[in-house]
Copies of this chain bind each other. A is one copy, B any other.
Amino acid sequence: MKKVIAGTDIGGTNTEIGLVDYDGKICERLTISSKGYESFEDFIDFLSEKILDSVDGGGYDLTGIGVGAANGNFFKGTIEYAANLEWEGVLPVADLLSKKTGVPVKVTNDANAAASGEKIYGKASGIDDFVMITLGTGLGSGIFAGGKLLYGHDGFAGELGHVRVKDDGRECGCGRKGCLETYVSATGLLRTAKEILSETDEYSLMRNADLKNMQSKDVYKFAVGGDPAALRAFDFTAEILGKALADFTAVLNPEYFFFFGGLANAGDLLLKPAEKYMNDNLMTVYKNKVKLAVSGLKPGEAAILGASALMHE
């Protein structure tokens, strides 16, 4: 029987599950809703049933379940106060899921899962010190130091999106101001573009666009087309990112920063200038040693592979 791990990504809308073999191949995939259950226990019952059905159906040997979720806590095996889920408080996901399925369960937050995925199945194989940065609505991160995920004392290390980069800067969803993710994320880029339009006279075709419904990918399209304001929005974002990476390097001295998510693929518009700004701002001892790269994980597979990779730690 082929040994598999159930990589499980619990998102606000859907929960994605993949049975992943030990070579990182996703053998089976299924999706269930994360919403509409009577209780969290009911959700776990349904999730367990679906996983076990899939395992039985394919004749696999299930050796464990790895769970990635916003606010997942590795030490406690819980999801705690996740704003994107219907259930409140502390959810003992590992305990419940393990009881139902009879296999060990590990839990972590989605960015740590992505970092694990990069280490086991992506470009970070053999790299012991790196930071995985996920660029989406916010900025998530997972840190590997000395070959291991850095969890910190309470399991909440690696919140690089909430390092402050501006005194009295943009308001952040966390209730504070000036957090990195208010600038460096899809949302942050869009905010920057709109600010440039409203606060400067910079020539821009974006002025003719439907600003209310504009998305970060639209800013990207305008920038690719050479639009000065869109290009300036990317440069501003890259400068803040590059300077932040220089500071993170002084703390962690990583070999690589890997980037995952839509914005990570904006290549020459974001990562290349960010690398220049980083090197301009690094202490001599680090200069031109730290590398930036796009993640080696596929968008549709990263969360599942990352969650399953937890069981290989």
Which residue of B has the minimal Cβ distance to A129?
Answer: B153
CA distance A162 to B281 in the complex (A): 11
Q: Which of A264-313 contact B (CB under 8 A)?
A: 281, 283-286, 289
A254 near B153 with CB under 8 A, answer yes
CA distance A159 to B157 in the complex (A): 18
Interface bracket on A: 35 or more
**New A-B contacts (13) at CB < 8 Å, excluding given A160-B250, A164-B246:** A128-B153, A129-B157, A143-B251, A145-B145, A146-B150, A150-B150, A152-B254, A153-B253, A153-B255, A157-B252, A163-B250, A163-B251, A176-B283
Protomer copies: 2
Q: Check A87 for interface membership: any CB of B closer than 8 A.
A: no
Which residue of B has the minimal Cβ distance to A155?
Answer: B253
| Chain A, interface SS category | loop
CA distance A163 to B164 in the complex (A): 12
Closest CB pairs A-B (n = 5): A152-B253, A153-B255, A157-B253, A129-B153, A159-B250
Q: Check A222 for interface membership: any CB of B closer than 8 A.
A: no
Q: Which of A137-184 contact B (CB under 8 A)?
A: 143, 145-146, 148, 150-160, 162-164, 174-176
